[in-house]
Amino acid sequence: MHWGLITRNPVPLADPPPLRVVQASRRRSMQTWTPAELCEFLAATEDHELYSMWFFASTTGVRRSELLGQRVPGLDLDAATATVRHTLTPQARGATDLPTTRSPNAQPTAFGRPDSVARANPFQDLDILAVTRPDHSPVSHAP
């Protein structure tokens, strides 16, 4: 209203959501681990093939689709930063798509580097997924 685009406040005319929608939303609220629980999980999975993925996810806060679509050129291991430019989304019959993320000017996200990650990145020039299964196939998007 203060920009002069409308003359009346529409908020009083809006209906609140039904109570059942509000209650369902509260039941689905996100549950997160405590820092101690996260540390315990990371310590217990340090030898797992997906440890790097879990470590990266827990130190950056990237979305699942951004995590699975992270490309190697977007990782700077010396600076411990990642620039997320792709997402990996589920498609029909298990196929995947790698669209560009919402901003072509994505800023690097800092992440803690586990001791097990080498500083030199021999794959820096390869446009490949950073997180894959041992056979180089994408990790499933399913929870």
What would the pLDDT profile of 20-45 be if each residue is shown by its tens digit? 888 887 777 678 889 999 999 999 99
pLDDT given for residue 142 in this prediction = 56
Instruction: Give whole-number Cα distances, 105 to 46, 79, 83, in Å.
Output: 33, 18, 9
Q: How far apart are CA 85 and CA 99, in angstroms?
A: 9
Q: How far apart are CA 130 and CA 75, in angstroms?
A: 8
SS3 state at 86: strand
SS3 state at 102: coil
Cβ 69 vs Cβ 88: under 8 Å: yes
pLDDT given for residue 44 in this prediction = 95
pLDDT tens figures, 75-115: 887 777 888 887 877 666 654 656 555 566 666 666 665 55
Give the lowest-confidence range in 5-14, 82-91, 128-137. Answer: 128-137
pLDDT given for residue 39 in this prediction = 92
Global pTM reads: 0.60
